[in-house]
C-alpha cells in the first residue's frame, strides 16, 4: 500500500508540474506575471518567492495551478474597512501590504483601508493608526508585495503584467501550453519505454514465432515468414494482420506468405475464441521484436498515437451513451495506480504516459473553465476582432467551474462506490 501511495503522489505531482509549467513558461515569455505556482491544493505547507513568483506546495496532492495576474480578480482580498499593515520604502511608496494576522519582520504602519487602485493608479487610501480625521493616500510600488489572509505572499497585479494585456496569440499559446506539455511528456515516456524494454514489438507482417499446437504450427508457418494476405485481404503490418484474422468470417481460410523470397499459399483452420462476448479467430503467431534504435523510436511514437486514438474513440462512444463509469477521478486513478505498481517500474511509466495524454486531451475539450473552453473564447475573439467583455467571460467561466465541480463530486462518489465498497 505504501508503494501505491508514493506512486500516486509522484504521478499526480509530475502530471500537475508538467501541465502547469507549460502555462507558467509561456506566461513568463509573454510578460504576464505568474503570481503563484502551486503543486497540490488546500492549506500550504511550504512556500518560497523567486523572481516575482510564489512557489507553494499544498497539503492535498490532487491537483495544482498557476495564478496569472488578472485571472484571479479576488486574490488581493482587499476591502474597504479592512485593517492592513503597510511597509514603505525610502521614497514613501508602499512595498508590502499585509492583510493577514502574521507579524512582520520589520515594523509597519497600521492602516484601515478606505479605497485603493492596485491596477492602474497604484495607490491606497486609508485611516492611519485609526485616525478617522484624515484619509491618507499612499503611492504603491509597481512590484509591491501583498500578504494574503492565509499568509501567502504574492506580487500585486498592475495592468501591464496582467493576462489580458498580452497579445491574443500569446494568450492562446498560454492556454494551449498545459495540454501541449502533457502530450510532450507522454511521447517522451513512451519513447523511454521503448529504450527501457529489452526488445520492442515492431509493426510488421513478419512473424516473430508461432505457438505450439496452434493452427500456424499445424500448417508449417515459421518465424521469419511474412504473411501478405489472409483470404483475399492484403495485410502489410502486424495491426492489419491480427485485426484481419480476428474478424475473419469463417474459420476455414487461406494464408499467403513469403519465405526466402518465394510466395506460398496455405489453407488453414483458425482457432475460434470468445472475447467480450464476441467470437474471434486466432492463428497462434507471435509478433516480431527488435532492439534497433530506429525501431525503439518508432515504437514510442506508435504507442503515443495509439493512446491518443484510443482516448478519442472512448470520447466518441461517450457521445452515444454517457455513463459516470466512463470517467475517473482521483479515487479511480489511485485504484489504477495500485494495479500498475504490480507490473513494476515499467507499468507505472506506461500508466503515467497514458494518464498524461488523457489529461492533455480532456483539458482541450471546449468546456468553459478548461483550457479548451478558454481557447474557444480566444478563437471567438479572433473572429469578432474585439475583446470579449470581461463580465461575459467571467459568467461563462463561472458556469464551467460549477459544472466541473458538480461533475467531479459525482465522479468521485461513483468511484468510491466502484472501488471502495
Instruction: List active site positions.
Output: 20
Q: CA-CA distance, 105 to 87, in Å (whole number)? A: 11
Q: Which three cell numbers stand for residue 278?
A: 464476441
Residues 253, 268 contacting (CB under 8 angstroms): yes
Interhelix angle for 344-363 vs 330-341, to 10°?
150
Backbone angles phi, psi at 358, to 5 degrees: -65, -45
Instruction: List 37's β-bridge partners, or say none.
Output: 55, 66
Q: CA-CA distance, 245 to 285, in Å (whole number)? A: 11
Q: CA-CA distance, 378 to 387, in Å (whole number)? A: 9
Q: Which three cell numbers stand for residue 308?
A: 491518443
Can you spell out the DSSP letters for 248-305? -S-SEEEEEEEETTEEEEEEEEPEEEEETTEEEEE--EEE-EE--HHHHHHHHHHHHH
Q: CA-CA distance, 144 to 148, in Å (whole number)? A: 13
Side-chain half-sphere CA neighbours of 396 within 13 A: 18
Q: CA-CA distance, 346 to 190, in Å (whole number)? A: 10
Backbone angles phi, psi at 333, to 5 degrees: -65, -40
CA dihedral 70, 73, 75, 81 (to 10 degrees): 130
Q: CA-CA distance, 259 to 271, in Å (whole number)? A: 23
3-state SS assignment for residue 399: helix
Residues 228, 254 contacting (CB under 8 angstroms): no
Contacts (Cβ under 8 Å, ≥6 apart) of 407: 327
Interhelix angle for 293-320 vs 168-196, to 10°?
120
Of 272, 294, 274, 297, which is closest to residue 283 (Cα–Cα)?
Answer: 272
Q: What is the CA radius of gyration of the chain?
A: 29
Residues 207, 221 contacting (CB under 8 angstroms): yes
Residues 211, 217 contacting (CB under 8 angstroms): yes
Q: CA-CA distance, 150 to 6, in Å (whole number)? A: 28
Amino acid at each position: 500500500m505504501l508503494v501505491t501511495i508514493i506512486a500516486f503522489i509522484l504521478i499526480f505531482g509530475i502530471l500537475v508540474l508538467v501541465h502547469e509549467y507549460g502555462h507558467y513558461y509561456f506566461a513568463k515569455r509573454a510578460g504576464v506575471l505568474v503570481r503563484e505556482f502551486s503543486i497540490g491544493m488546500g492549506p500550504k505547507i511550504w512556500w518560497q518567492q523567486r523572481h516575482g513568483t510564489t512557489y507553494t506546495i499544498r497539503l492535498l496532492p490532487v491537483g495544482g495551478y498557476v495564478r496569472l495576474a488578472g485571472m484571479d480578480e479576488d486574490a488581493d482580498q482587499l476591502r474597504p474597512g479592512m485593517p492592513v499593515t503597510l511597509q514603505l520604502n525610502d521614497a514613501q511608496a508602499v512595498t508590502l501590504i499585509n492583510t493577514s494576522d502574521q507579524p512582520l519582520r520589520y515594523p509597519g504602519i497600521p492602516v484601515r483601508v478606505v479605497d485603493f487602485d492596485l491596477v492602474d493608479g497604484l495607490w491606497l487610501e486609508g485611516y492611519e493608526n485609526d485616525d478617522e480625521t484624515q484619509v491618507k493616500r499612499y503611492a504603491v510600488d509597481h512590484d509591491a508585495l501583498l500578504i494574503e489572509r492565509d499568509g501567502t505572499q504574492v506580487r500585486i497585479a498592475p495592468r501591464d503584467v496582467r493576462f489580458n494585456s498580452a497579445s491574443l496569440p500569446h494568450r492562446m499559446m498560454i492556454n494551449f501550453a498545459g495540454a501541449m506539455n502533457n502530450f510532450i511528456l507522454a511521447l517522451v515516456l513512451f519513447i523511454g519505454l521503448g529504450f527501457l524494454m529489452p526488445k520492442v514489438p515492431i509493426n510488421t507482417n513478419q512473424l516473430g514465432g508461432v505457438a505450439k499446437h496452434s493452427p500456424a504450427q499445424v500448417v508449417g508457418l515459421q518465424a521469419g515468414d511474412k504473411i501478405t494476405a489472409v483470404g483475399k485481404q492484403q495485410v502489410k503490418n502486424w495491426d492489419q494482420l491480427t485485426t484481419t484474422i480476428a474478424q475473419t468470417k469463417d474459420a476455414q481460410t487461406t494464408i499467403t506468405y513469403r519465405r526466402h523470397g518465394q510466395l506460398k499459399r496455405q489453407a488453414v483452420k483458425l482457432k475460434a475464441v470468445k472475447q467480450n462476448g464476441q467470437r474471434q479467430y486466432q492463428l497462434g503467431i507471435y509478433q516480431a521484436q527488435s532492439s534497433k534504435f530506429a525501431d525503439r523510436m518508432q515504437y514510442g511514437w506508435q504507442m503515443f498515437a495509439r493512446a491518443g486514438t484510443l482516448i478519442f474513440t472512448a470520447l466518441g462512444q461517450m457521445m452515444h451513451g454517457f455513463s459516470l463509469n466512463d470517467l475517473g477521478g482521483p479515487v479511480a486513478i489511485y485504484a489504477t495506480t495500485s494495479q500498475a505498481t504490480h507490473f513494476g517500474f515499467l507499468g507505472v511509466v506506461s500508466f503515467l504516459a497514458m494518464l498524461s495524454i488523457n489529461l492533455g486531451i480532456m483539458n482541450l475539450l471546449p468546456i468553459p473553465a478548461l483550457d479548451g473552453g478558454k481557447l474557444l473564447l480566444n478563437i471567438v475573439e479572433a473572429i469578432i476582432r474585439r475583446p470579449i467583455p470581461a463580465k461575459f467571460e467571467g459568467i461563462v467561466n463561472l458556469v464551467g467551474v460549477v459544472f466541473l465541480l458538480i461533475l467531479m463530486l459525482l465522479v468521485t462518489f461513483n468511484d468510491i462506490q466502484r472501488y471502495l465498497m
